Amino acid sequence: MNAQQPGPPTEDYDHSIPLKAVKVYPPATEAASPRTTTYTVRIELSRNGSVFEKKAVEKFFPQGRIYGNTLELLDTTVETIAEGASLVSSQLTALEKEARKAADAENELQRQRDAEAAAEAARYENLTRMAAEVRFD
């Protein structure tokens, strides 16, 4: 029986997979010319970034952005990334942790809003019932 190979990443965010750097893509041929000192480096990630990770990326990678399962870093080189690979890994871990805190805070805020809306709806329903029971003799 053959093990099923994973398919291409989707736009879905899977929080069960840690955010890790998987591989660095070589730059475009023109970017690697001797006249170019820096260029854009793309790093494949273990999964797609969450909305909160996409927002937090600039704090950890000021010249970067996450789209899909790619971390794109502007104005750098493959050599710089290779020399700082452990830093990139630790920054991704910190980014993921901060993004999860932001997501948890957003979820708690939404839970509170939902609870307030449910309490307001219950109060209105109770007032409606009471109003319907009022009898003037």
Domain residues of the chain, as ranges?
21-131
Does residue 82 contact residue 24 with C-beta atoms inside 8 Å?
yes
> What percentage of the chain reaches a pLDDT higher than 90?
57
* Entry pTM: 0.70
Q: Which amino acid is at 118?
A: A
Q: Are 88 and 80 in contact (CB under 8 A)?
A: no
Q: For residue 91, give the nearest of 102, 81, 101, 76 by alpha carbon.
A: 81
Residue 70's pLDDT is 95
Six-digit token string for 86: 């452990």
pLDDT tens digits, 57-113: 999 999 999 999 999 999 999 999 999 999 999 999 999 999 999 888 888 988 899
For residue 106, give every residue at least 6 positions away whose Cβ sits within 8 Å of its Cβ, in sequence order, or none: 52
Which tokens go with 49? Answer: 């970034």
